């Protein structure tokens, strides 16, 4: 981790470890893109998503809210920053969907820049920012839809 958090009281052991691992993932993602290794870039993108899911599951802000509102708020803000980072990482693969997520987070339109530092990425959403729920990003596939996709790919 080359940077630090701007907000006092946010950088705890979980966040320091998260920032370090996120920085490692971002470096690996950047290297995969530069080497034009698309499968590796896709795997690193999924790694960013997994990291975000693991952090939120471990820190459980929905439970922490009952005992420590400030901590829950910090975890939620960092969670939103992780969603932002995941959308930026996914942009080369699913640009329209990533843009919808970034717009819901109040980010400017256009090609996003991949963060270079894990701590800076976690600190990218300021407290009090208005965010909205994005529209449905992916429709649920039913049995008929799966059959149509299989038939289309087989033919």
Q: Residue 52: pLDDT band by 50, 70, 90 thresholds?
A: very high
Predicted pLDDT at 13:
87
Q: Residue 138: pLDDT band by 50, 70, 90 thresholds?
A: confident
Selection from 34-43, 74-83, 117-126, 144-153 with the highest mean pLDDT: 34-43
Q: State which CATH number among 1.20.1250.20, 2.60.40.420, 1.10.730.10, 3.30.465.10 fits the domain covering 13-154.
A: 1.10.730.10
Q: Please check the confidence at residue 46 and state whether its pLDDT lies above 90.
A: yes
Q: Residue 21: pLDDT band by 50, 70, 90 thresholds?
A: very high
Other beta carbons less than 10 A from residue 14's beta carbon: 13
Beta-strand runs (E) in 50-154: none
- Average confidence (pLDDT) over 20-29: 96
Closest CA to 78 of 137, 2, 1, 12: 12
The reported pTM is: 0.82
Predicted pLDDT at 6:
52
- Average confidence (pLDDT) over 69-92: 92
Residue entry with tokens 């803000």: 77
DSSP3 helix / strand / coil % (the chain, rounded to 5): 65, 0, 35
Q: Which letter does DSSP use for residue 109 in this model?
A: S
Cα–Cα dist 11/5, whole Å: 6
Selection from 53-62, 122-131, 137-146 with the highest mean pLDDT: 53-62
Cα–Cα dist 98/13, whole Å: 29
Instruction: Give me the chain's average pLDDT, please.
Output: 88
């Amino acid at each position: 981790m080359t940077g630090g958090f701007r907000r006092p009281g946010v950088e705890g052991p979980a966040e320091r470890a998260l920032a370090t691992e996120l920085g490692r993932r971002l470096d690996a993602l950047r290297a995969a893109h530069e080497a034009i290794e698309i499968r590796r870039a896709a795997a690193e993108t999924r790694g960013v998503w997994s990291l975000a899911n693991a952090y939120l599951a471990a820190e459980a802000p929905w439970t922490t809210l009952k005992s420590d509102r400030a901590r829950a708020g910090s975890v939620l803000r960092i969670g939103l920053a992780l969603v932002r980072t995941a959308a930026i990482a996914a942009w080369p693969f699913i640009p329209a969907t990533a843009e919808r997520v970034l717009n819901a987070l109040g980010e400017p339109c256009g090609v996003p820049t991949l963060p270079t530092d894990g701590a800076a990425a976690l600190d990218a959403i300021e407290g009090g920012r208005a965010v909205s729920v994005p529209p449905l990003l992916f429709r649920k596939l039913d049995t008929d839809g799966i059959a149509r996709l299989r038939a289309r790919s087989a033919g």
